[in-house]
Structure formats: structure tokens, C-alpha cells
Amino acid sequence: MKKLGRKALALTLTLTLGASMALTGCGSSKESKKGGDGSDNLGITTGLAKDTKGEVSIMVWSGDGEYYEDIGNPDSAAGKKLSDPSKIVAQNVAQVYAVAQKFHTVYPNIKINLWSKVGDPDQYNTASWEQEMENFQAKYKKYPDIWGSTNVINDIKKGLVADLSAYKDDATYKKYNETLMSNLNYYGFQAGLPSYTIPGGIWVNKALAEDNNINVPKPDWSIDEYTRFVSKADGKTFWGSKGTPVDIVNLGTTTINKMIKEENKIDLNSDEVKSLLKYFPKWAEKSIDVAAGAGKITKDIVKECSAYSWYYFTNNRSLVNFEDPWFLTAGADESAKDSDAYIKSADWDIYPYPSTDYCENTIKVIMDPICLHNYSLDDKKSEWSDEEKQKLDVTYTFASFWTASTAARQAIFDQKWSDNGQLKSAAGDTFPVVSGDDYDAQMEIWNKLDAHKAYADKEGFQKVLEIWKEGKTWDYIDKCWTSTISENGDTTKTLYEWINCGQENVAGAWFTDKDWADNVKSRLSDWNDSCNKRIQTAQKQLKDALKEYYGFEDADLK
């Protein structure tokens, strides 16, 4: 059933919060009950009254599988249990607990609940994340108010996601990094907020190279310098990389990732793409995957590294790693040198992706977005009720505090949790998702973590930071784009042919076959048509959902 149009909803919510904020700043006798008046020093700007009652249930992954009710209340069962950091065995639980505690000091009548799945969202041999959402609804008789989304567009297509553009005039909303927010914006519909977010570069094992008389390029390297570097691997005891870095071409042309982000289409058959195909066989020839396929890597090395890309890098078996950007903390944590995740090289760095004739050095963006529940569907009526609007105000106030507030970042840094019996800060990889002075203040907190101090003198990482801060990235984020498409019960990767361009059954040859490039060139036109057709179908599905659930008209979707 269609609900109140998006423009009308934005107006009503803006008026509601605007009136609240106006009262906050005018010396009203009710001022002591208002959030964001400066007395709490938490940076909450929505003006939500401090005596507001509400409940926000959160669902994330990388947790402990427990359900915590009223997690921020020190007098609740959850609050009492988690007050002992040795009882907190999941970092995500520690982070939400820290933020909820701080939030509780201002909003004691708002309950924050948390369920966090153990492992990854689609962990092997467990229910899919999509099914976990349905399981949550069945068990608690409601969908989560805030959840980590693995497929934002799919969640929109179900009508589950609230449009947060209603809060565009909120001071905190304006602080968010515009590049990150744009990845979650569809025809003006703001489908979520950035949460866990890091830059993705290329890990470089400088010591391994120098020990083998290989010249290490500078961080502003080109595609030719990258290729020469990885080609120097001996192919017996160490290799260039685990796999073949297709992303160098995705980011190094204007017709793949950049075109997806700017025009929502691709041109695989471009001269740019064709000119860079020659590099793939050179990269593949020095890859661990090809060596393993040819039986040219010993069982002892495979066992040593558990056949995992990151462990090949940490054990000095590859010159670069581009698959695992999420080891910013674990890779540099000297308090856990015995961990398989710790980089054993004496000198390493993180470089941007190499430049090409078409694009300068850049980075990937890895982001786990959070979405907020679309309460307008709950009562099956055609308009937003005051109660529904109040629920969204409550949920947005917590979500924006959690993700954007410097006070929340500090609370997370100060919170301890038990990592296999060792107490550590709950702070981790994630970068600030805000801009300006708030970004600088939160990066100061990031830099204080012991494991992150290693990055201060790393030339490549400083270049990555520069690119990140200047927003010189044109990577699309897979969780926010139509990376997969479902039709007639079948799910397919939107860019299936290109993603599998090194597979013989798709390309007619393997990367290292002499005729691979020619085979691919002859197929690019057909691949391009197939991929763009899927993109167009996915886009139509999104538009249909925006019209069905959110009151969009055709004129809004141009």
C-alpha cells in the first residue's frame, strides 16, 4: 500500500524536529528536557526531548549471538553483565554497549537492544542475512529498527528502509561525508547512513622485496611500475599476489567503476579497457592462484597460510595483497604478534591503486551501511501517524549519534572487551564517516590506538589518507549498488561475465593462455550488452519499489 508521499513526509518530520530545536535554543522552561542543548556535550543535534520514551533494536554481525535488552542501562541484566569487560567477547557488542551507555545518560527512557550474529552476515553453513532478518521479525514480532545491510537496494525493494532525507537540515546530517552518503542516495531517497568504513588500498611487503633485491616503487606508482614489481617474484617461495587484481582496471579506466558511479552503466568494450587487458596475464603468471592450479606451490606453504590470501601476505609469501583491507588494526597489533593476522614483515605499507593513462592514483571504499526501519508500513495505513514519526525520530537520533558523534567514538575507544582473554579497546579499523573538524577530531582518536601508531610514518598510507580526505575516489560500494539481480527466483552477479573474465568457461581461455586477451576482446561487446541489460533491469526494480512503497512519481525518477 502506498504511504504518504516522500515530500510530505520530509516536510512533517522537518517541522517536528525544527520546532523541537527551536524550543531548545530559546531558553524555554522545558530546555532541561531537550537533547542537543549543549549540556550533555554529546553533539546530539536533533532536539529530541530528553524525557522521550522509545525502543531501538539493532541487528548486526560479527557478534556473539546473544540478545541484549536495554544494553545501555547499567541497571538492566545486560548492563550489569557487560559492565565486566571480560564478559564482552565480541568487538561489535562492546562498541554498541559503549555508545548505548553514553546515550542512556541523556535519554534514560529509550531502550537500546542488540542482537549480533556470530561471524559474517552470510557465514557458511548458517542462515543468510536476509533470512536472519525474517527470523528476527518472527521472534521479536518486528523488524530491527537499525540493521547492517548487505544489500540496501534489496531492502528498499521490500519497503523496509526509511528515507532519511527528511533530516537533511539536521546539523549532524550535514556533517556526514558527502561521498559516502551519495552511495546511499537514490533519486533523493537517503536509504541509510555509513557505519564501518575504511579505505581500500594495496598492501605492499617492502621488506620482502628489499631482501630479494627488488626495487620498491613510490606510493604514486603507475600500472607499469606495479606490474614490474610483482613480476619480480621468484614464483617458488613468494609470489606477486594471491589472485589477479581486476580492480586495477576497474578503477584505472573511466568506463567501469567510475561510469557505474556517475551514470549507472558500463562500457566494457571501450578502448581504455582493451588497452589494459595485456596486463592481466602478467599479473596472473605471478599469482599464487595460478601456481596452486599448476601444482607449483608446496603443500607446506599452503598449510602454513591456510590457503588464505591474508596469511600468504603476513607470512611473507606475496609482495602485495589487495583482497583484505580490513586488517588495519589486526595486521599492525604488536600486542598480538603470535596471531596469524599480524604482519611478520619488518617493513610494509599500504599504497593507493596504481595510476593509468586514464586515471590517477585512487583507492577503493569499503563500507557497511546501516538502514533504519520504515515505520510507515507497520500499521498498513496510507499516512504516517505521529507515533510512527516519533519512532523514526528516536531511531535516527541514536543512529546519527552512534555513527557521527565524536563523543561516541571516544566512548568506543575507552571501552574494553576480551579478545581471547586479552582486554583491548573496542576501537578498530573504521574511519570517521564525517567531514571537516569532526573528521580531524575523530582521526586523532583513531591514531591513538596502539596498533594504529604504526601508520604515522608510512608514506603510502599517508597518500591513501590524502586521497580519502580529498574524496578522489570513484569506487562504487557493492552493498549499496545492484551488485546482484534476482529474476524468476535466480540470483546473478550483475557484472557476471567481467567478474569471471579469467575463467575458461566464460572467456574461452585462462588468464595465462596466449589467446586470452584476443578471446576477451571478441566477447566484450556481448558482455557489455548483458551487463548493462542487468543494470537496467535492476534499476527498473528499484524505481518500481520507490513508487510502490514511498510515493515516488515518474517525474521524481529522472
Separation in Å, CA 296 to CA 6, 64, 193, 492: 59, 40, 46, 33
Which residues have C-beta within 8 Å of that of residue 453, sequence separation ≥ 6? 447
Q: What are phi and psi of 340, to 5 degrees?
A: -65, -25
Q: What integer pLDDT is reported at residue 12 of this predicted model? A: 53
- pLDDT tens-digit readout, 440-494: 999 999 999 999 999 999 999 999 999 999 999 999 999 999 999 987 788 899 9
Q: What pLDDT is recorded for position 22? A: 36
pLDDT by residue (tens digit) across 182-202? 999 999 999 999 999 999 999
Is residue 241 within 8 A of residue 353, CB to CB? The reply is no
> Across the strands, what pairs with 102?
none
The pLDDT score that the predictor gives to residue 253 is: 98
Between CA 189 and CA 171 the distance in angstroms is 18
**Coil, helix or strand at residue 527:** helix
Condensed to tens digits (0 to 9), the pLDDT of residues 376-395 reads 988 877 578 999 999 999 99
Least confident of 229-233, 360-364, 482-486: 482-486
pLDDT 10s digits, 16-34: 555 444 333 333 334 345 4
Q: Are 54 and 109 in contact (CB under 8 A)?
A: yes
CA 553, 385, 392, 120 torsion: positive or negative?
negative
**Cβ contacts of 30-38, under 8 Å, gap ≥ 24:** 35/106, 35/107, 35/397
Q: 35 pLDDT band (50/70/90 cuts)?
A: very low
Pairing relationship of beta strands 146-148 and 422-425 according to DSSP bridges: unpaired
The per-residue pLDDT for range 287-330, each reduced to its tens digit, is 999 999 999 999 999 999 999 999 999 999 999 999 999 999 99
User: How far, in Å, CA of 402 to CA of 96, rounded?
Assistant: 8
**How many CB atoms sit inside 10 A of residue 437's CB?**
10
d(C-alpha 303, C-alpha 339), whole Å? 16
Nearest Cα neighbor of 395 from 199, 161, 189 is 161
SS (H, E, C) 135-171: HHHHHHCCCCCEEECCCHHHHHHCCCECCHHHHCCCH
For 230-263, the DSSP string reads HHT--SSS-BSBSS--THHHHHHSTTTHHHHHHH
Burial of 277 (0-12, 13-18, 19+ CB in 10 A): middle
Q: What is the pLDDT of residue 384?
A: 84
Residue whose grid cell is 518530520? 13
Residue 6 pLDDT exceeds 70: no
Instruction: Tell me the per-residue pLDDT of 512-525, one tens digit each, with 9 for 90 and over.
Output: 999 999 999 999 99
For the cut 90, the answer to whether the pLDDT of residue 46 exceeds it is yes
Distance CA 401, CA 262 (A): 30
- 44-53 average pLDDT score: 95
Topology given in CATH for the domain delimited by 6-195+372-425 = D-Maltodextrin-Binding Protein; domain 2 (3.40.190)
| Domain residue ranges in the chain | 6-195+372-425, 200-365+455-540
What predicted TM-score, i.e. pTM, was given to this entire model?
A: 0.93
| Fold classification of 200-365+455-540 (topology level) | D-Maltodextrin-Binding Protein; domain 2 (3.40.190)
Cell digits of residue 413: 575507544
Q: Give pLDDT, residue 558.
A: 86
How high does pLDDT run on average in the chain? 92
Domains 6-195+372-425 and 200-365+455-540 alike in fold: yes
How far is it, in rounded angstroms, from Cα 129 to Cα 135?
10
- The mean per-residue pLDDT over the stretch 537-556 comes to 94
The residue-averaged pLDDT of 235-251 equals 98
pLDDT at 96: 98
Measured CA to CA, the distance from residue 196 to residue 479 in angstroms comes to 12
| 416 CB-contact burial (10 Å; exposed 0-12 / middle 13-18 / buried 19+) | middle
What H or E segment, with its residue span, contains residue 349?
strand 348-351
**Three-state SS for 332?**
helix
Percent of the chain's residues with pLDDT above 70: 93
Question: Which pLDDT band, with edges at 50, 70 and 90, does 8 fall under?
Answer: low
